[in-house]
Structure 1
Amino acid sequence: MASATTINTPRINLNLSSNDAAVLQALFDNGEGSFSSSAHDVNPYPNSSSTVAAHSGQNARIDASLPSFPQCSIREETALQSLKDRELAIVRQIQSHAHTRTSSNPHCDEEAVSHVLRQAIDDLSSLITERPDYPPLYANRAQALRILMQSSSTLSSSTKNSDKDIAIFYPENINMATQLLSDLSKAIALASPPSTGDNTSNTSVSPAQARLLSNTYTHRGYILLKAGKIRKEEEEGEGNEEKKPRGGPEQLLRITSRDELEEMASQDFFQAGRYGNEVGKQLSVQTNPYAKMCGAIVKEALKKEIEEFQS
């Protein structure tokens, strides 16, 4: 069975923290990007009552004998290969123009690049209409939307902000950001194995499923983590300046708590780790609210012990 085609996003030199850089490195190296299947759902974890529940699973089992995406209705190899060939042609267009924009010709016509990206998104949308249950199409459209927002921010911004992903949270990009997050979640939903109740550790997935889920969960976790940082900046800036319109995906607009966003990110990173993403495993621990709470308790205990020792 042929494996999924996904966009290999070019390496971009962003001014990021070590956590952000690690997440992006994992995404771009593996070349696959992926919130709720409804664009307006707020909770992307309807089956998880808490972080503990979401973190109770084990690593997924990989079974190379399984079809790439067992829930996909395409069963004929010829039909699948035809779909992949059409998808690959679109992906190569995106890669070619994104590479031109970021490396060999940094002064290229941004309007032309934007036009190519919009056409690619339209073409992927047409494929999705034909084959709505093939998950890589949603993952690739999400990546294309992300690159388009980066490109648009370069075109319209008068400031030199090296973190191009901040464009996802510009108010003018709210529709694209909402679609991006919806596409990522749709890819996850379609690629995930059927639920078998509380115990999902015995469920096997194909290598293609594992790759897609590993990277789409990481991608979504990164966006949640970025949203949490923006909420923190908003909290710290309250009262200092006029309140600006809030941008970003509509799914996140009603979530005002930085802690809630980081908890959601931690769950996604954990799931990425279950499917083999080592960066996801590390970030899951670093962003886990319970681990943070335990760390704070230990830190406070050590502080008191030092104070008692010095007194």
Structure 2
Amino acid sequence: MPGLTTRDSFVFKSIFDPEASAASTKHASSQTSLPGMAEDKFSDRRSDELQIISQLHTGTSNPETIHKAVQDLSSLIEESPGYASAYINRAQASRLLIPTSGLFTSDHAQASGQLLRDLQKGIQLAEPTTSAQQLSTHQTTVLAAAYTHRGFLLLKIADIIRNGEQVHGVGDKLQSASAESVEEQASQDFAAGGQYGSKEAREMAVRTNPYAKMCGAIVKEAIRKEVEEWKADQLC
């Protein structure tokens, strides 16, 4: 399996450890289904999905096993294109096949772009249609995972841009964006992931919040000046 960073380990907790996301959210109801799906159909799809990803829970899956899981999730999507979590799980599984250093490079452009498309589709299908809509526990799990994963991908894109390198596998909007604007998008995704119950997303939302970073920079500058003044006083 490609080497995963600490950032990556946060991402895979959400879907591959489903209880991690939904436990603390205030949005969850006692329902389990997804929008537009009858409970019995959801139950069947979820059973198939859990069987597919069960082989990935150990964290020791070889590339062949992961490829098979991705193929099976693609078949599930073909059968039920409105089943949101299959897209999210396909992104999670596919991510295991891409080394962190290869994300959004020319060698992994297509696969990296597909990660973003799957996450976007999953979010689109799972998002509530109104602010008053009560979400099922599975919706919160799916949305927490999707927003958190996409947030980390956007941070990777921001790093590439900041290093003056070209981003591959994304649309013109992201390619032409500044590192700061992409990082702000990541912060927004982390905030959304946190609202849906991801502790890791909440922590990252604070770290990447542009206003918090600005305040932090001001504090650091004030401390630096105080230290310099202290040193000057000692020399007198």
TM-score normalised by length of structure 1: 0.63
Q: Does 1:91 align with 2:53?
A: yes
Q: Does 1:191 align with 2:191?
A: no
Q: Does 1:66 align with 2:1?
A: no
Alignment correspondent of 2:76: 127
The one-character-per-residue Cα deviations of 1:227-257 (angstroms, maximum 9, x if unpaired) are: 212222237xxxxxxxxx6424346652442
Aligned-residue sequence identity (percent) comes to: 37
Alpha-carbon distance, 1:132 to partner: 1.5
Which runs of structure 1 show a deviation greater than 6 angstroms over 4 or more consecutive aligned residues? Answer: none
CA separation of 1:301 and 1:66: change in aligned 2, threshold 3 A: same
Secondary structure of the 1:276 match is coil
1:270 and 1:96 mapped to 2: Cα distance?
Answer: 26
Secondary structure of the 2:197 match is coil
Structure 2, unaligned stretches of length 5 or more?
18-23
Select the residue among 191, 205, 209 that pairs with 1:288.
209
2:218 and 2:111 mapped to 1: Cα distance?
Answer: 41
2:199 and 2:58 mapped to 1: Cα distance?
Answer: 30
Alpha-carbon distance, 1:297 to partner: 2.2
- The residue identity in structure 2 corresponding to 1:249 is V
The one-character-per-residue Cα deviations of 1:176-222 (angstroms, maximum 9, x if unpaired) are: 211111101111121111134xxxxx553222111111121111111
Pick which of 167-176 and 134-143 moved more. Answer: 167-176
Secondary structure of the 2:38 match is coil
Alpha-carbon distance, 1:293 to partner: 1.3
CA separation of 1:29 and 1:125: change in aligned 2, threshold 3 A: closer
1:302 and 1:255 mapped to 2: Cα distance?
Answer: 36
Higher helix fraction (1 or 2): 2
1:13 and 1:261 mapped to 2: Cα distance?
Answer: 24
Structure 1, unaligned stretches of length 5 or more?
1-9, 34-58, 102-109, 151-163, 197-201, 236-244
Q: Does the CA-based 8 Å contact 1:178-1:251 persist in structure 2? A: no
Q: Does the CA-based 8 Å contact 2:105-2:168 persist in structure 1? A: yes
Alpha-carbon distance, 1:118 to partner: 4.2
Give the CA RMSD over aligned residues.
Answer: 3.0
Q: Does 1:141 align with 2:90?
A: yes
Q: Does 1:229 align with 2:159?
A: yes
The size of the alignment, in residue pairs, is: 226
